Amino acid sequence: MRRRRETVITKIKDVAEVAGVSAATVSRVLNNVSTVDPAMAVRVREAVDKLGYRSNGVARSLRRRRTDVWALIISDISNPFFTSVARGVEDVAQRAGFSVVLCNSDEDPDKEAKYFDVVERERVAGVILSPNLVGSDISLLISAGIPVVAVDRPLRHPVDCVRGDSVEGARIATRHLFEEGWTRPACVTGPETAETAEQRLTGYRQAFVDRGLRPAKSLVRHADFRAGMARESVAALLDSRNPPDSFLIANSTMALGALEEFAHRGLLPGRDIGLVAFDDAPWARFVNPPMSTVRQRAYEIGALAGQLLLERIQGASGELELEPKSELLATELVVRASSRRASTSTA
Amino acid sequence: MRRRRETVITKIKDVAEVAGVSAATVSRVLNNVSTVDPAMAVRVREAVDKLGYRSNGVARSLRRRRTDVWALIISDISNPFFTSVARGVEDVAQRAGFSVVLCNSDEDPDKEAKYFDVVERERVAGVILSPNLVGSDISLLISAGIPVVAVDRPLRHPVDCVRGDSVEGARIATRHLFEEGWTRPACVTGPETAETAEQRLTGYRQAFVDRGLRPAKSLVRHADFRAGMARESVAALLDSRNPPDSFLIANSTMALGALEEFAHRGLLPGRDIGLVAFDDAPWARFVNPPMSTVRQRAYEIGALAGQLLLERIQGASGELELEPKSELLATELVVRASSRRASTSTA
DNA sequence: TTGTACGCGTTATCAC
DNA sequence: GTGATAACGCGTACAA
C-alpha cells in the first residue's frame, strides 16, 4: 500500500511559458502551421519534450468542433467476414489520419441503438455500419449530420452501401454444383428479413432457371444465421421425401451446423454429398474434406466503405450533396473437395 | 444533387431559454441532480424533447475532466477467445455506465503504440489490454494516470492481470492423453517470448513428471501462433526418428494447421493420432472428428478484468493504491473424439 | 432550490 | 510571423 501518485497534467500554456512564446504559437507548431519561425518551432519542441507535454484531444475536439474518429459498428465481431472488413476500414482511416473505434452490436438492436447514441454524442466524424437483421434506424446520426456508410446489408435511409454480390455468388456456386454432377442442390439461407439472405436465395434460383429448371420450393429452408438452426434445416431436408444431394449454405457459421449433421450421418462431403458455403472462413480449408466456399472480398468491402466515408466527410465542406452510391463487389468461388462429385468414381 | 442540409446544433443554453430557466438548471436536470424542483424538471425535459437537444459529450468530458469510455486493445480480434473476452468486458462496463471501444492491434507493436497514443490523448477512463507478443510498453498510460488491466498475458509494469491457468490446463490435457493410452504426446507451443506459450509448455512437462517420466526435448516445438508454422512443426515431429503418437497444440489457430497436416497424411484424430488443443473455438466440435480442447473461461476473464478496472477507476479518488492483482482462472478440459484412443479397439 | 460566473484546454480571429 | 483574446459547450462552486 502506497499513496497514489499524483499525475501532473501539462497544458499548452505551460509549454508556452517554458519556450518563452505564446500559447498560440505552441498550437501552431504542434499543428504544423506554415507561418512559424523555424527557430521558435525548435524551442517549442524542446519545451514539449522537456515537459512531456501531450495534447488534450478532448479540448481539441471541442474547439475544432469535430473529431478524427470513425465508429465502425459491427453486427457480429466473431464473424471472420467482419474482422476482415474492419481491417480494410482501418487501413483507409489510418492513411487519412482518422482512428477507428470498433463497436460490437452483437445483432442486438438495443446495443446498436446505444452505440448510435454515444457516437453521436461524442461527435464522431463518421460511421460505418453493418446493420442488424431487423433493420436499423440511423435517423439520429443523419439528423446530426454524421455521414454513414452501410456494409454487407443496405439501409432504408439513402446512404452509401458496399456489399458483396450475393446474387451472382450464389448463382455461380449453384451452377458449379450442377456442373459437378449434383442434381438436387438445396439452399439453406438466412431469415427472410435479411436482404443478404434473400439475395443468396435469388442467385440460387437463377442457377436453376439458367438450366431451364424450376427451382423446387421443397429444397429451400430459411434459418437464422447460426449453426444450430442450420443443422436442423439440413436434417429436415435430408429426411424429406425427395432429399437433396448437395447444399448451398448461406454463411460459414451455418456451414458448421451442416458439417456436424453430415458427420453425424456418416456423410462425407465431396463423396456422399455436395457442399458449398458462403464466406471463406479461415477454417474452411482445414476441415475434412476442405470446404468449397464463396469468398467475399471482405477487406476490399471495408476499404471501399472507408473511401466512401472519406468522400462524404471531406465533401461535407462543399456545396453539393452526392447521391448515395451502392457498390457491389464481385464474389469468387473457391472450389475445394467438398463440392466435388467426380471423386466418387475415382475412389 | 441537392444542397447539403445544414445541421442545427442545439446547446444547453437554447434549452434553458425555451424552458425559461438557467443553463445550470438544465444541466442539473440532465444529470439527475437531486436538488431540483420536479415541476421545473418537467419543463426542462419538455424543452429538451421539443428541441431534440442532445448533450455534447466532448464538452462534457472536457468540463468533467474525465470520460466514460474504456479502451479494449486486443492483439487479435479474429481469435474467438478474444471476442468472448470482449463480451465479458462490455457487459461489466455497460452495467457500470461505461462504453467500450475496441481497438485491434493485430499483434503489431506499432499499431498498438498508436492506440496507446490516441486513447491517452482522448483521456479514456481505463484500458484493458491483451499485450502483443514482444511485450508492450504502457508507460505512456501509466504516467497519464490511466488504469490498465492486462488480459491473457502479463505485463512488465505492475498492473492487474487476468488469465486462464495455462499450466494446469496443459497439464491436465497431457495427463488425459496419457490416460487414453497415448504414450508419446508432443507439444507444439507458441514463441518463447510469449509467457502464455511457455506456461503451456510447463504444464505439458509437469504431466510427464507426474508420471515419473522425463519430458523429451525432441517432442517439443516452438512456432508462432499461426496455422502455417504449426503445420510445419507437426510435420517435422511426425517425420522425426521417434515420432509422437499424439499432440497438445497451444491454440486453436495452430490446431487448424495440425488438422490440415493430419488430413494430408490420412491420419484420423482419435484413431491414428491423439489431439488436444487450447481454446474451444466454435468450430472445434464441428470438425471430423470433434476436437478435444482446453477451454478457457474467456467471458469470465473479460468480466473479471472489467471488475478490476472498475475498482481502479473508482479507487482513483481514494487515498490508497491497491497492490496489483494477478488472477488465474481455471481451465476446463473438453473431451471429444480427437483425443480418444479406445476407439481403435472398438472400430 | 435556483442563478451567476467561471473555467476545463485548445484553436481561430483578429490586430500588431 | 506572433500574441492577446474570445469562444467551443458544459458542469459546478458559490452566492442568493
Across all strands, nucleotide nearest A15 (CA–C1'): C9
pLDDT band at A187 (very low <50, low <70, confident <90, very high): very high
**Res. A139: pLDDT tops 90:** yes
**C-alpha B315: how far from its chain's center?**
23
Closest residue in chain A to residue B81, using alpha carbons only: A78
Give the angle subtended at the CA of A199 by the CAs of A197 and A202, to the nearest 5°. Answer: 115
In this predicted structure, what is the pLDDT of residue B285?
87
- B211: phi then psi, degrees, rounded to nearest 5: -95, 10
Q: Using the beta-carbon criterion (under 8 Å), do A286 and B101 form an inter-chain contact?
A: no
| Helix segments in A180-297, DSSP class H | 195-210, 227-239, 252-265
Q: Do B102 and A77 touch (CB under 8 A)?
A: yes
- Determine the pLDDT at residue B4: 47
Q: List % helix, strand, coil for chain A (3-state, nearest 5).
A: 45, 15, 40
Mean pLDDT across chain A, nearest whole number? 93
Kindly determine whether residue A1 and residue B323, on different chains, have CB atoms separated by under 8 Å. Answer: yes
Q: Which residues contact A141 (CB under 8 A, 6 or more apart)?
A: A116, A119, A120, A127, A148
B54 and A120 within 8 Å at the Cβ level: the answer is: yes
Q: What is the pLDDT of residues A247-274, one digit of tens each?
A: 999 999 999 999 999 989 999 999 999 9
- Chain A residues within an 8 Å CB radius of B78: 80, 83, 282
Mean pLDDT of the A123-149 span:
95
- The secondary structure element, H or E, covering residue B201 is helix B195-210
For the segment A273-296, what is each residue's pLDDT rounded down to a tens digit? 999 999 999 899 888 889 999 999
Cβ separation of B58 and A54 shorter than 8 Å? no
Q: How far apart are CA A50 and CA A65, in angstroms?
A: 30
What is the residue whose three cell numbers read 431436408? A237
Q: Would you place residue A37 in the very low, low, confident or very high pLDDT band (cuts 50, 70, 90)?
A: very high
Restricting to A residues 61-120, those with a Cβ less than 8 Å away from any Cβ of B are 61-62, 67, 69, 77-78, 80, 83, 86-87, 90, 94, 99, 101-104, 106, 114-115, 118, 120
Which residues are B128's β-sheet partners?
B72, B149
Whether B57 and A3 lie within 8 Å, measured CB to CB: no
pTM here is 0.93
pLDDT, one tens digit per residue, over A85-95 is 999 999 999 99
Contacts of A3 (CB under 8 A, 6+ apart): B319, B320, B321
Statement: residue A79 has pLDDT above 80: yes
Contact in structure between B102 and B74 (CB atoms under 8 Å) = yes
Q: Does A217 touch chain B (CB under 8 A)?
A: no
The owner of cell 497514443 is B117
In whole angstroms, C8 C1' to B121 CA is 15
Cβ distance A334 to A294 under 8 Å? yes
Q: Which residues touch strand D (CB under 7 A)?
A: A 20-25, 28, 35-37, 39-40, 59, 62-63, 65; B 9, 11-13, 23-24, 27-28, 30-31, 55-56, 59-60, 62-64
CA of A63 to C1' of D10 (A): 13
- DSSP-derived letter for residue B217 is G
Separation between Cα atoms, residue B330 and residue A48, nearest integer Å: 47
Among A8-12, A316-320, B228-232, which is the least confidently predicted range? Answer: A316-320
Give residues with Cβ within 8 angstroms of B188, minimum separation 6.
Answer: B220, B221, B223, B230, B233, B234, B237, B247, B248, B249, B250, B254, B258
Question: Which grid coordinates are listed for B169?
Answer: 490446463
Q: Compute the distance between CA of residue B281 and CA of residue B295 in angstroms, rounded to an integer.
A: 9
Identity of the amino acid at B193 = T
In a mutagenesis test of the B interface, which of A8, A90, A112, A121 is the best target, namely the one with the most B β-carbons within 10 Å? A121
- In this prediction, residue A7 has a pLDDT band, given cuts at 50, 70 and 90, of confident
Which residues make Cβ contacts (< 8 Å) with residue B41, sequence separation at least 6?
A: B29
Q: What is the pLDDT at residue A1?
A: 43
- Which residue is associated with the grid cell 481497438? B103
CB B159 within 8 A of CB B311: no
All three cell numbers of A36: 512559424
CB-nearest to B121 from A54, A118, A144 is A54
Q: For residue A321, what are the CA distances in angstroms to A160, A166, B6?
A: 12, 29, 11
Place of cell 451446423: A257
CB contact under 8 A, A288 and B263: yes
Mean pLDDT calculated for residue range A109-118:
96
Cβ proximity of B52 and A43 under 8 Å: no
For strand C, which nucleotides have at least one atom less than 7 Å from a protein CB? 1-5, 7-13
d(C-alpha A126, C-alpha A135), whole Å: 19
SS3 at position A276: strand
**Is B272 within 8 Å of B57 (Cβ atoms)?**
no
- What burial class does residue A308 get, using C-beta atoms within 10 Å of its C-beta: 0-12 exposed, 13-18 middle, 19+ buried? buried
CB nearest B62 (choices: A62, A69, A94): A62
- Measure, in angstroms, how far nucleotide C14 C1' is from residue A101 CA: 37
Q: Strand D: which nucleotides have any atom within 7 A of a protein Cβ?
A: 1-5, 7-13
Closest by Cα among A30, A136, A144, A122 to A69: A122
pLDDT of residue B318: 52
Q: What is the pLDDT of residue A316?
A: 62
Contact B224, B238 (CB under 8 A): no
Greater confidence (A7 vs B203) lies with: B203
With CA of A61 and C1' of each nucleotide, the nearest comes out as: C10
Counting other chains too, the contacts that A194-197 makes at CB distance below 8 Å and 24 or more residues apart are A194/A133, A194/A153, A194/A225, A195/A153, A195/A154, A196/A152, A196/A153, A196/A163, A196/A166, A196/A250, A197/A222, A197/A225, A197/A250
Q: How far apart are CA B334 and CA B295, in angstroms?
A: 7
Per-residue pLDDT of chain B (347 residues; tens, 9 = 90+): 444 456 788 999 999 999 999 999 999 999 998 788 999 999 999 999 999 999 999 999 999 999 999 999 999 898 899 999 999 999 999 999 999 999 999 989 999 999 999 999 999 999 999 999 888 999 999 999 999 999 999 999 999 999 999 999 999 999 999 999 999 999 999 999 999 999 999 999 999 999 999 999 999 999 998 899 999 999 999 999 999 999 999 999 999 999 999 989 999 999 999 999 999 998 998 888 899 999 999 999 999 999 999 999 988 655 457 789 999 999 999 999 999 996 444 33
Residues of B in contact with A69 (CB under 8 A): 122
Among protein residues, the one whose C-alpha sits closest to the C1' atom of D11 is: B63
Contacts of B318 in chain A (CB under 8 A): 4
Nearest nt to the CA of B65 via C1' is C8
Residue of A nearest to B266 (CA): A288
Task: Measure CB to CB from residue A4 to each of B58, B94, B321 and give the nearest one.
Answer: B321
* Distance between the alpha carbon (CA) of A307 and the C1' atom of C11, Å: 28
The β-bridge partners of A333 are A294
pLDDT (0 to 100) of residue B322: 76
DSSP state of B109: H
CA distance B169 to B29: 52
Q: Which nucleotide, over all strands, has the C1' atom closest to the CA of B22? A: C3
Q: Pairing mode, if any, of strands A320-321 and B2-3?
A: antiparallel
Residue of B nearest to A320 (CA): B3
Q: Residue for cell digits 476490399?
A: A300
Name the grid cell of B239: 517425420
Measured CA B102 to C1' C13 distance, in angstroms? 38
Q: CA dihedral defined by A188, A194, A197, A199, rounded to 10 degrees?
A: 150
Residue A34 pLDDT > 90: no
Q: Is A214 exposed, middle or buried (0-12, 13-18, 19+ CB in 10 A)?
A: exposed
Helix (H) or strand (E) holding B63: helix B57-64
| DSSP run (H or E) holding A189 | strand A185-189
